[in-house]
């Protein structure tokens, strides 16, 4: 357990950051799931709209440090590929 005043404050800050990051990660996953569900249903219009809203959310999560930038780019790329396959 933290003994010093600064260590106690650091613990509080960590708890707040953890909660924020958890919310951000959950929100990102929801947007990704919306795209995946639209692709699975074969609804191209809905999938394109979902991808358009999911991409900035994924990149924002990367920018905020929730996940690595390359991981975010890979996720966006794979989702875009899946949506593009619907039109073919």
pTM: 0.88
Asked if residue 1 has pLDDT above 80, the reply is no
Q: What's the token pair of residue 53? A: 């809203």
Residue 67 neighbours by CB under 8 Å, 6+ apart? 25, 28, 61
Query: What's the pLDDT at 75?
Result: 98
Tens-place pLDDT, residues 22-55: 999 999 999 999 999 999 999 999 999 999 999 9
CATH class of 5-87: mainly alpha
Asked if residue 82 has pLDDT above 90, the reply is yes
Query: What's the pLDDT at 63?
Result: 97
Query: What's the pLDDT at 88?
Result: 72
Provide the mean pLDDT of the chain: 96
Query: What's the pLDDT at 73?
Result: 98
> Can you tell me the distance from the alpha carbon of 62 to that of 68, in angstroms, rounded to the nearest whole number?
6
Query: What's the pLDDT at 13?
Result: 97
């Amino acid at each position: 357990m933290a003994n010093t005043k600064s260590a106690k404050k650091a613990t509080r800050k960590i708890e707040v950051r953890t909660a924020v990051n958890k919310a951000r990660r959950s929100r990102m996953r929801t947007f990704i799931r919306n795209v995946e569900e639209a692709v699975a249903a074969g609804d191209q219009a809905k999938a394109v709209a979902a991808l358009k809203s999911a991409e900035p959310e994924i990149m924002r999560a990367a920018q905020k440090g929730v996940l690595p930038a390359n991981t975010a780019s890979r996720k966006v790329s794979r989702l875009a590929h899946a949506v593009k396959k619907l039109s073919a």
